[in-house]
Each structure stands twice: as C-alpha cells, then as structure tokens.
Structure 1
Amino acid sequence: MGRPSLHPKTLHSATELPQVIEVSEEVKNKPHKWYYYLWDTLDKPPEERWFLFKLDAALLTFASLGYFIKYLDQTNINSAFVSGMKEDLGLYKNQLNYMQTCWTVGYVIGELPSNMLLTRIRPSRWIPLMEMTWAVLTFCLAKANSATSIYVLRFFIGLAESTFYPGMQYIIGSWYRHEELAKRSCIFHTSSAIGTMFSGYLMAAVYKMDGRHGMAGWQWLFIVDGIISLPIAIAGFWFIPDVPEIAKPWYLTEAEVQLAQKRMQLEGREERKPYTKAKFKKIFSSWHIWMLTPLYVFFNNGGVGAAPVFQQYLKASKDPKYTVSEINVYPTITNGVQVVSTLSMAWISDGLLKGARWPLIVFGGCVNIMTEVSLAIWNIPTRWKWACLSLTGVLGALSGLCMAWAHEICTRDNEERAIVIASMNELAYVLQAWLPLIVWQQVEAPEYRKGFITVSCLSFMLIVTALTIRVLHARELMQIRNGTLSDSSDADLNEAEPMAVSPADSTADVNGI
C-alpha cells in the first residue's frame, strides 16, 4: 500500500461496507508503513480514514476540552488557596484537606450510578447537563465566605463532575479498536494536566485583578473558570456521538455509523444489553473487576496530587523567596512532564509495543518509586528535589493505558465494561477521600514524609498488580482460543453461540500479554 490519499472518500452507502472492512483487515494484518507509527489511521482505507478523522475531530476535541474544564474547576481550589483565599477566609488548619474530601465524596457517590445510566440513556444529553451544573456551581464558589459554604459547593461540584471521566472513557472505548485506543485515551487524559497547568497560569494572570469590583484575585479565578466552562458544556449536546448502536450524530453518515458498528463487532466489543441477575453475577464473579479496580486505585493514589506539594515547597522557601505568580507557574513543569510522558507512552504502546500496556505501567511505577523515596528523604540537593517534583508527572501518564487495557479485557460485555471503568475510578477516589487526611496533612507541608512513603508503597503494589493481570489475561485468552471458557453465565446470551474472539485477542500473545 502506497502513501495514503490526501482526499479521503466519504462513505455514503452501506453497500460499500464489506469492501472497506475487507481492505481494512487486509492492511491491518500486513507489515505497517512508517507513517502508521505517526498516526494509525494513515494505513487505513480512505473511507475509514475519513470516518475516523470526523470522529476524532468531534469526540476527541470535545472530550479533551471537557476534561480540561473538569480539571480546571477541580484543581482551582489549590491555586486559590495559595493565592489569598487561605488568608481571606482564615483557613489555617486542615480545611484544604476537608474541601478536597468533600469533592471526592460527591465524586465517589455519583460515578457508578452515572456510568450504569449511560448504558440506558443517551450520553449526549446526560453528560453536557452535568457539565453545565458544575460550571454554575463554580461561579458560586466566588461568593463563598466560609469554609462550610465551600464544603457544600465542593460536594455538589464533585457529584456533577463524576459523570465525565468514566463516562467519556466508556464512550471512547465504544468507538475505537485495539490499535487506536491507547492514543485516544491518552490524548483525552492529557487534558487533565493541561487543565492543571492552565489553572496555575490563569491564577497568575487574574491575580492582577485583585481588588477590582471589590473582589479578590482568587474570586476572579472561579468566575473566569465558569466563563470558560459553560460554552464547552453546551457544545456537548452537539458533539458527543453517543455509542454506535444508537448513534445519530450530524457529522456522520448513516453508512459511517454502520461502519462503526461493524468495526466494534470485529473487535468483539458487545452492544448494550439489559441488566439481569445473571449478568451481575457474571461481572462480580470475574477476576476483571477485582484486579483492574486495584490497578487503578494504586495508580490514582500513587502520586502527590492529593496535596499541592510543589506550590507549598515554593511558598515555604525563604531563600530565595518566590512571588505569587512564580508559586503558581513553576509547578506546571510537572504537568508538562505528564503531557509529554502520556503522549509518548501512548504512541509507544500502540505502535512499537504492538498494543502492550503492562510494560509502561511497570516503568511508570518504577520511576515514581525513585522520585518518592528521594522526596521522603527530603534533605537532598535542590536540583534533584526540583527534578523529583517534576518527574512525579510521569505516573500521571498511566491513566489512559490502564483504561485502554480495561476496555480490551472487558470487550465481550458492554455492561461489564461500563461498571468496571466506573468502579476503577470510583474506588480510586474512595481511597482518596480519606487517605490525604492521614498522610497529606496540611500542617506537615511541605515535608510530607508519610505521604511520600505511602505512595512509594502504592507504586510497588501497582507493579505487582499489573504483572498479575498480565498472567490472568494471557490464561483467559488461551482458554477462549481453546474453547474452554464459557460465557453462558449471562442468561441473555445465546448459549449455543460460540464466543467471538476479537482480532486483538487472536494476537494477544504478542500484543500486551
């Protein structure tokens, strides 16, 4: 196959589907051209390439912008706290920990019910509605005049935000194939780091508005955040494509929707089915949920994100003494490291490692252990301390890989996939709701020795869990190929019909297992 055509063809007729799919599968099974490693769609037929271009442009753009505003609104409390809110509201104990915990409690309560709801209703209605809700509540934070009022608002902001990340991961996993998934999941995830970075830059900028119209700079931060968030939330009603079996987005033709459905059938990705007692029994008796959930719990709590360590280190410095702008801007180095690491690992995983997820998860865990042990010692050279604080961003790169792996492992049951994705994120935040109160206490800032030791141990458990999942998944795929693994526990499935093995499964011994 030569260079890809610069003029992709739109798929208008369903009669063209068999030819497009046949060419796509033929190309997939041949050695890839060099440009495949730049972007996977360049190796596909023109019709499929144009379909993916439109899907990426709509879904990934909205998902990234939505996650950007989620993290902007989630982490602005840290930027506001170190930029005058602490002094203005008299927050001199562990109130910052309680504010983060209130958000986490709301987030945990909402995740699993929301993702289950997404398998029954249109995501293009539910998710934007919740985005609009948290944007309005962010405006309200600007008028909060006590720690108690912030606790209440943060709880409901967390509840509204709980719909977004697991929901969008579920949608992304419903449209993309094995060799496409990690890059999209990781591109989506990088928006969290960019949102955190932008929160610091934004606080440095709006701090100049301190005192204007009788409001402090940190109050202007919440107002500007809300102004940015609201139009992005409204755009979701038009750009979220739902899932292929019920999709009617304005930017895809009917034939392209059918192509999407066929692609998921080839991937072994199941469509939506009713929740039954047998289905719940099957989901909760499988190793999938019991191993993938701890994997994400150890990842999500294995970093220093529970406390603004870098900012507090700079604020506590006496020689040199940093300005408010520098305290907000310098820590964004960590987020820059996370962005670069996330995208690099995604391309390496999908391309050079042919779909392997676990080697990079193990690598990220090892880097994190090195940095956290160094920070636990604390009395280390200043340059190395800055390097360690920056390199903590490497661990943040693993979220998209963990989610992509979960989509692939749970590909044969749509409802299991939705529940597992939600439970991974939810249980991660259950631990995050109380762990910071013990190991990331504000009164110990910035030398959080207990916190650094704790996350080092969690990173070690992340490595052990990833290696265990690798073994279990390899064994399961072998059973599927040998026909010894039955899916008959779900009463809604036809017991006489053999389980389909996806193309990703058929080569799983080299693709990440």
Structure 2
Amino acid sequence: MSCGIRDTWDKPPEERQFLNRLDSCLLTYAALSYFSKYLDQQNITNAYVSGMQEDLNLVGNDLNYITTAWTCGYVIGQIPSNLLITRIRPSLWIPTMELLWSVLTMLLCTSKSFSHLVVLRFFVGLAESTFYPAIQYVIGSWYKGDELGKRACIFHTASAIGPMFSGFLQTAAYNGLNGVHGLAGWKWLFIVDGVITIPIALLGYLIMPDLPHNTKPSFLYTPAQLDLAKQRMAQVNRRPPSKFTKEKVKGFFTTWHIYTLVPLYVLFNNGSGPTTSMIFWLKSFNTKTKTVYTVGQINVYPLGENVVQVVSTLSWAWWSDAIGLRWPPMIVAGTWSMIVCILLAVTPLYTHIARRWALYYMTTIQGGLSGLILAWANELTGEDSEKRSFIVASCNMWAYVMQAWLPIVIFPQVEQPRVLKGNIATACINFAMMSFALLTYLLQRRDQHRRDINEGSSHESTDRVLE
C-alpha cells in the first residue's frame, strides 16, 4: 500500500522508513477490511435483483426496510465503540468485531423469510459499526496534516472497490454456483463474502497498530520509531487519550465543532442518493416477454459509478493535501453533484439513454469526500483525543441516522428509477453541504486568528519582562 503514496521523499530517512512501514500495515489492513465490509453492504442489493426477491417473496419497500435494519444496528454501536478504543487496544477490538460480522454475513444464506433477513442484517450492522469511525480515529492518531487526507481517502476508496467486486462476484455466483449443493446463486454470495473476510480479520491481529502511546515495540515498530510517532503528533498538537471528566464530556458540546462537522458529514453522506437508481433503471427495461439486460449485465454495468468514485476520491485527496485546505474539493464536488442531480431530474428515462447512463456514472463524484471531512475533524479536535473520537463517531452515526429513513422518503423503491423528488432533494442536500463546508472553514479561520493574536500578546509580554 505504501508504494503508491509518494509524499515522504522530503522527510528524513528514519521518518520515511517509519511512514512506509505504517502505511504498509495500517492502510493495508484498513483497506482490505473496508473492502470486505462494502462487499457485504452492497451484496444485499445484488442478491435482491438476482433472485432473492422472488425466492423470499419480497414486495414493495421490503429492500428499503432490510437496509434500514442494518442501518439501525450500525448507528447504535458507533459512539460506544469509538470511545471504547481510547481505553482498550484497537488491534484486538476491531479484528474481533470483523470476525463476528463475517460469521453473521454467512448466516444470511440461511434466511427463509423477510423477518429473518431483517434480524440478521441488524446484527451485521451492529458488528460493522465498530469499524469505520474507529479506523478513521486511528489514522488520525498517526498522521500529520499533509499526510492525513491521502491516507483517509485511500482507505475510503475501498468503499467503491468493494461493490465493484461484489458485482463480479454476484455474476460469478449466479452463473457458476447457482444450484450447487441446492443453494441459489444469491446465497453463495453471502458465503463467499464471509469466507473472504475471515483471513482479513486474522491479519488484523498481526499488523493492526494501536495508538502511538500504547503500541508496543515489535518486529514491526522499533522503540525509536514509536518515540518518533509520539513526537510527530506532539508537533501538530494531537494529544493522546486522557482521563474522562465531567468537564471533558461537557466540552464535547460547548464548542462549534460538533455543530458544523456533524451536519457537514450528514449532508455529504446523503448527497449521492441517485447512485442507487441505475440498477433499477437497467432492470426496468426488462418485461415478462422481453429481456434487454441479463442479470449479469444489471450487476456489472453500474460499476462505472465506482470507477468514477475511486478516481475522484484520490483526486480530491491529493489536491487537498497539496494546498493544505479541506474545503475547496467539497465545493467543486458538491457543485458538480448538484448539477448532475438537476439534469437527472429533467432528463427523460428512456429518450436519451446515453446521456442518462453518463449522468448515473457521475452521481458518485462527491462520494469520496468522507475521508477529507473526517481528516478535517481529526485536525480541528486534535487537542482532545476523547472529543476527537466522539466527533468522528458522531459524524458517521448521525449520517446513518438520516440514512435509516431519508432514502425511504425521497428514494422509495416503488418510485425507482424515476425518483424525481429524490433527485431534486439531493441537489438541495449538496447545496447545504457546501454551505456547512464554508461555515466550518470560516470558524477555523476565526479560531486561528484568535490564537495568533494571543500568541502575539504573549510574546510581547515576554519581551517586556526580559527588558
């Protein structure tokens, strides 16, 4: 993983060697695990259009409700888990939860009814809730500002790569395993996903680091490298965990960070809703008497959305770290996404096929901003490790609180693929996201201005004493 990140050449050899080692361990495990997590997160939709709907007699908005069950479990566990890893070792907690969700994923193949699916998906979501905010917090505990955006976003690209493989896996399962040992192809996808995840979780026990203050010297990191890690975080004022106090917990809510970063992330996370429509659009061409797109094509053709997300995610990350600012990519991506949503709303479903196809591919243009927003949160709250953990988890948690019900309202399955109100609402969401990005930047500048004034006053006082 480290071979693709060329931002360490201007650093001393010892620091460069340490960062290469850290990238190879932390980012490799994080990306592989996130890949497996998104395999699972996407496979429920692939399974639905590949036979699960008919086998389990699913109707109406059942798929939305199954997705919501996962989201509810995912929401409940995030803040407790993220606060917990300030006290226990992430290298034990995160891989253990990954093993648990791999087992639960495989059990999905035993589902006999809608209610069985809902219960299992809830517990899969609960186990997976420990992962994403925890990894973003850990990444924010090791990297400086000019390194952090790229690492956070490289990790996040797995969210696009996972579904890409899910589409190919579903196609392979449907065509190659359908009926083997009496199991339908969609059931084999759940089994394959679980089998892929187990060795990744075991790898985590070996190479996943803890935090700089409690990672022990080993064959991976020397004592000198761990001392260097602590010095690096001290240079950017990113502090290790400290004791929980009443005043500390109050501090989570008495500064502006939670009131701008959380809405910013919530709006981002719900700003690419039209991505879900392409698979339904392709399926809508088929009738009882005519098949325009095969099951394999319906699963594979939307993967262009994921390619666009990977490219744009890495572009936003390198640009942001290069200029030392987080908000400009959010403005560009948000504007682009808003235009795409408006064009989807006014473009006929079946008149301009190529145009609509291209627009669907561009619905993921802002999908890679997650890493930049959480990198920003890590930087802005670095003086308090527990607050940083809480803010990062709160961003992701509240994003999925909204996602638990908002898609049902603005992208109901029964209105797919037209979803006019969903496309219009998403354009408005992107506009609001850009507004909160600018507000966060203005407040960051205000705080920096105040610090500069205070430091200037302090230096003047010191000079007078010396005189």
SS of the residue 1:464 aligns to:
helix
Partner of 2:310: 339
Pairs within 5 Å for 1:381-392: 381-392=352-363
CA positional deviation for 1:304? 1.8
Q: 1:460 to 1:272 in 2, by over 3 A?
A: same
1:478 correspondence with 2:449 = yes
Provide the rounded CA distance (Å) in 2 between the counterparts of 1:483 and 1:72: 50
CA positional deviation for 1:310? 1.0
The answer as to whether partners of 1:378 and 1:447 remain within 8 angstroms in 2 is no
Partner of 2:416: 445
Partner of 1:75: 42
1:429 correspondence with 2:400 = yes
Write the deviation string for residues 208-238 of structure 1: whole angstroms up to 9, x where unpaired. Answer: 1111110000000000001101110111111
The answer as to whether partners of 2:273 and 2:407 remain within 8 angstroms in 1 is no
Q: 1:92 to 1:378 in 2, by over 3 A?
A: farther
Partner of 1:408: 379
1:237 correspondence with 2:208 = no
The answer as to whether partners of 2:61 and 2:412 remain within 8 angstroms in 1 is yes
Opposite residue 161 of structure 1, the aligned amino acid is E
SS of the residue 2:42 aligns to:
helix
The answer as to whether partners of 1:358 and 1:467 remain within 8 angstroms in 2 is yes
RMSD value, Cα? 1.7
Which of these residues, 212, 215, 238, is aligned with residue 247 of structure 1? 215
CA positional deviation for 1:438? 1.1
Which of these residues, 233, 247, 252, is aligned with residue 283 of structure 1? 252
Partner of 1:499: none
Pairs within 5 Å for 1:155-234: 155-208=122-175, 209-234=177-202
The answer as to whether partners of 2:139 and 2:151 remain within 8 angstroms in 1 is yes
Partner of 1:321: 292
Provide the rounded CA distance (Å) in 2 between the counterparts of 1:108 and 1:61: 26
SS of the residue 1:42 aligns to:
coil
Provide the rounded CA distance (Å) in 1 between the counterparts of 2:397 and 2:121: 17
The answer as to whether partners of 2:141 and 2:212 remain within 8 angstroms in 1 is yes
Partner of 1:117: 84
Partner of 1:418: 389
Provide the rounded CA distance (Å) in 2 between the counterparts of 1:378 and 1:153: 39
The answer as to whether partners of 1:75 and 1:196 remain within 8 angstroms in 2 is yes
Opposite residue 90 of structure 2, the aligned amino acid is P
Gaps of 5+ in 1: 1-34, 486-495, 497-513
1:310 correspondence with 2:278 = yes
Opposite residue 51 of structure 2, the aligned amino acid is G
CA positional deviation for 1:381? 2.0
Partner of 1:491: none
SS of the residue 1:158 aligns to:
helix
SS of the residue 1:473 aligns to:
helix
Deviates more, 1:332-341 or 1:272-281: 272-281
What number of residue pairs does the alignment pair up?
A: 448
Partner of 1:371: 340
The answer as to whether partners of 1:76 and 1:199 remain within 8 angstroms in 2 is yes
Provide the rounded CA distance (Å) in 2 between the counterparts of 1:291 and 1:123: 28
SS of the residue 1:166 aligns to:
helix
Provide the rounded CA distance (Å) in 1 between the counterparts of 2:343 and 2:115: 37
Partner of 1:46: 13
Provide the rounded CA distance (Å) in 2 between the counterparts of 1:367 and 1:198: 26
Q: Percent identity?
A: 50
Partner of 1:62: 29
Which of these residues, 258, 275, 290, is aligned with residue 227 of structure 2? 258
Opposite residue 317 of structure 1, the aligned amino acid is F
CA positional deviation for 1:374? 1.3
The answer as to whether partners of 2:410 and 2:419 remain within 8 angstroms in 1 is yes
Opposite residue 358 of structure 2, the aligned amino acid is A
Write the deviation string for residues 33-75 of structure 1: whole angstroms up to 9, x where unpaired. Answer: xx9x971111111111111110000000000001001111111
TM-score, normalised with respect to structure 2: 0.93
Provide the rounded CA distance (Å) in 1 between the counterparts of 2:251 and 2:41: 35
Opposite residue 382 of structure 1, the aligned amino acid is I
SS of the residue 1:246 aligns to:
coil
Provide the rounded CA distance (Å) in 2 between the counterparts of 1:393 and 1:287: 29
Write the deviation string for residues 7-58 of structure 1: whole angstroms up to 9, x where unpaired. Answer: xxxxxxxxxxxxxxxxxxxxxxxxxxxx9x9711111111111111100000
Gaps of 5+ in 2: 459-467
Opposite residue 210 of structure 2, the aligned amino acid is D
Deviates more, 1:475-484 or 1:365-374: 475-484
Partner of 1:17: none
CA positional deviation for 1:149? 0.4
Deviates more, 1:53-62 or 1:275-284: 275-284
Which of these residues, 41, 46, 51, is aligned with residue 84 of structure 1? 51
CA positional deviation for 1:280? 1.3
CA positional deviation for 1:250? 3.6
SS of the residue 1:104 aligns to:
helix
Provide the rounded CA distance (Å) in 1 between the counterparts of 2:392 and 2:417: 33
CA positional deviation for 1:308? 2.9
Write the deviation string for residues 273-305 of structure 1: whole angstroms up to 9, x where unpaired. Answer: 111110111120100011000000000011127
Partner of 2:261: 292
Provide the rounded CA distance (Å) in 2 between the counterparts of 1:210 and 1:178: 49
SS of the residue 2:404 aligns to:
helix
Write the deviation string for residues 140-163 of structure 1: whole angstroms up to 9, x where unpaired. Answer: 001101010000000000000000
Deviates more, 1:410-419 or 1:37-46: 37-46
TM-score, normalised with respect to structure 1: 0.85
* Runs of 4 or more above 3 Å deviation: none
1:127 correspondence with 2:98 = no
Write the deviation string for residues 219-269 of structure 1: whole angstroms up to 9, x where unpaired. Answer: 000000011011101111111111000012540001100100000000110
CA positional deviation for 1:383? 1.6
